[in-house]
Amino acid sequence: MALITLRRNLCHLSDFWTHGVLAALKLQPVNRVHKIVKERLCPWFCSGQSKSFRVRFCHSCCKKFHPENGNDRHTVGEPVFTQVHGWDRLEQNVKNNEQMLSRRLSYFTSSEEVLNFLSTMETLSGTLAAGALQRICEVERKDDHQGLPREVLENSIFQALCFQLEQEPSQLSNTSLVTALQALILLHVDPQSNLLLNLVAECQNRLKRGGLEVHSLCILGESLLRLQGPGCVTLKLIIYQLQGEKMETFTPENIVTVYRILQACPEKVDQHQTFLNKINSFSPSIVSNLSPNMISQMLTALVVLDQTQALPLVIKLGKYVVRHIPHFTHEELQRVLDAFIYFGHSDRFFTKALEQHVAAFYLTLDPEVVSKVTEYCSRKQILSQPILNAVAETFVCQSEKFSPSQISELIESFGKLNYLPPNASALFRKLENMLFTHFNHFPPKTLLKLLHSCSLIEHHPVNFMAKIFSPFFLQRLQGREPHLDKLRRAQLTQLFLTSVLECPFYKGPKLLPKYRVRSFLTPCCSLETPVDFQLYKSVKIGLIDLLGARLYFASKVLTPFCYTIDVEIKLDEEGFVLPVTVDEDVHKRVALCIDGPKRFCADSKHLLGKEAIKQRHLQLLGYQVVQIPYHEIEMLKSRLELVEYLQRKLFSQNTDVHW
């Protein structure tokens, strides 16, 4: 560690004199210290007489301090070493003083306070020098692109601090060296300056000698990433040395830093996967010691690195996220939600805590967080009325703060979950006014998704149908692609079907046939949920027993109106069941909707929006819709009970009839 000369602006204070002596002795090499102690204190130890010992300091900015032997008598405030004060006591005093001064640094809230504090000190150890730079960085760095103010750069104390670091980096401890380098990089010091070049060179020398411990390796790795980017050659050596360390030597902060370093090189994840597996297996043991910020950073890294095999770690992190929800910043909470959406993680305790947080602070939440919360509920199909009600109220009160994509995300969640909040009329009135005012600001695909979501919950966008069916809008929607994708054509087709079935008063343009689809049930972008195969098999067995033969019902019937019916049964005018091959004398068609768990909101009996609109449209098309939900089938204990259940569902007017 180096001794750094600072211009002293205040008078000599007794407590700083002591610190100066201790620091001066502490900062010499061990053999040098013993030599000083022997030469300066041996006569006193041998004679047993109390002789004075004083260290004189030079206060010019860029010179080293030199301990000198003097003949002055001891005065008040000067240190006197008696026979009982050995090297161990001196060592402990130095450590205690450094810890105390480091704590004092953390209390300062401006660079001026830090530099004024440094100016009062007789000497400054490398640890305190690095700590001072780190504190200046913390109070001055308000964003990633802001450097130091001019008054700080021109301050003589700051210049002296940097000069000594530049001249003698080899005298710094590993921790002080990498901490100083990190602070200077974050303060955007010129990468080609002698100061940074000397510090980086010293770090590289120690790295090649294998002299850096885990903590210093982590700080150095992240610092070089900022300075030289992920292509930095030295970074490979740092990661290699980290791989050779025992995981027990990593602190929670070190683990998170390693994740951040690897996150910066996602294209090299295959090279580091073995190391990542090792970290992923160890990390659950330190999750309880992570701060909210570190949890969000770890989750983000797991997403970037595509660690889908680390689900035990994600689940463990999820349990502790619940405790920290009130303490997350908006950005941190957003990262947590992004990770849970990515990994498909949901937890009822997390949802409960999220409900309480959103309901309590919904008017102060950032629109990006609000849209991310609704996206989480939508993706996981969680019908959370407290969250959706709060989101609706936030939009009504602060709609001008929401971007088009955020508005679309918000309305899409209501449509998908088939939910209308208590203030639905105010919500859609506000939405309609925004669309009238800013219609052209909405990207075509975003606008179509938004209006389609409105139709799912029976708030039909009649005033905008003429615009979205117009050739001009359809050309914008198609863009430069040769054909419009299937999902957009399916949404347009369902909106057109809505205009015909549910809005007969609409007399505007119709959707051109070339933009329509034949089926809403497609593999990649379906507006229907495929039937649950196991549930279908159970119902099929019951129907055969009830109707007497397989020929009396058809499965997966595609209607002329794009919907696919799970099971269709034909009835004549007297109510008798007809074979599926008969097309004459069909008086009524029964559509059985065999609704498995995926057609409902999570852990509820509430149909999703796309299933609700399907059943609504089938009824308007003349079908007798019979819903067979999975939770009712699961209650049946025998085959006979299943037959009786289907009989009641299909022939409720003839409940005494048995097959």
Confidence bin at 159 (pLDDT 50/70/90): confident
Instruction: Judge if pTM exceeds 0.95.
Output: no
Interatomic CA distance for residues 356 and 379, integer angstroms: 20
Side chain identity at 553, as an amino acid letter?
Answer: F
Q: Which helix (H) or strand (E) is 303 found in, with range?
A: helix 292-304
pLDDT the model gives residue 58:
33
- The secondary structure of residue 53, as a DSSP letter, is -
Mean pLDDT (the chain) is 82
* Residue 519, both tokens: 């089926």
Residue range 45-83, pLDDT digits in tens: 233 333 322 222 233 343 333 333 333 433 344 444 444
Query: How many C-beta atoms surround the C-beta of residue 541 within 10 A?
Result: 13
Residues 336 and 308 sit within 8 Å (Cβ to Cβ): no
Predicted confidence (pLDDT) at residue 655 exceeds the cutoff of 50: no
* Residue 448, both tokens: 């179509």
149: left (phi over 0), alpha (psi -120 to 50) or beta: beta
* Residue 396, both tokens: 């009504």
The strand pair at 554-558 and 564-571 is best described as antiparallel
Confidence bin at 428 (pLDDT 50/70/90): very high
Residue 638's Cβ-count burial label (10 Å; 0-12, 13-18, 19+) is exposed
Predicted confidence (pLDDT) at residue 21 exceeds the cutoff of 80: no
Per the document, the length of the chain is 659
Residue of 452, 462, 497 lying closest to 620 (CA atoms):
497
- Cα-based angle 127, 143, 141 (whole degrees, multiple of 5): 30
Query: What average pLDDT score do residues 205-224 get?
Result: 91
Interatomic CA distance for residues 562 and 490, integer angstroms: 9
Residue range 535-576, pLDDT digits in tens: 999 999 999 999 999 999 999 999 999 999 999 999 998 889
DSSP H stretches of helix in 229-268: 233-243, 252-263
Interatomic CA distance for residues 235 and 241, integer angstroms: 10
CA dist 468 to 355, 450, 461, 516, 517, Å? 36, 12, 10, 13, 16
Confidence bin at 98 (pLDDT 50/70/90): low
CA dist 236 to 156, 224, 329, 634, Å? 38, 11, 33, 57
Residue range 118-152, pLDDT digits in tens: 888 777 777 777 888 888 887 777 655 566 777 78
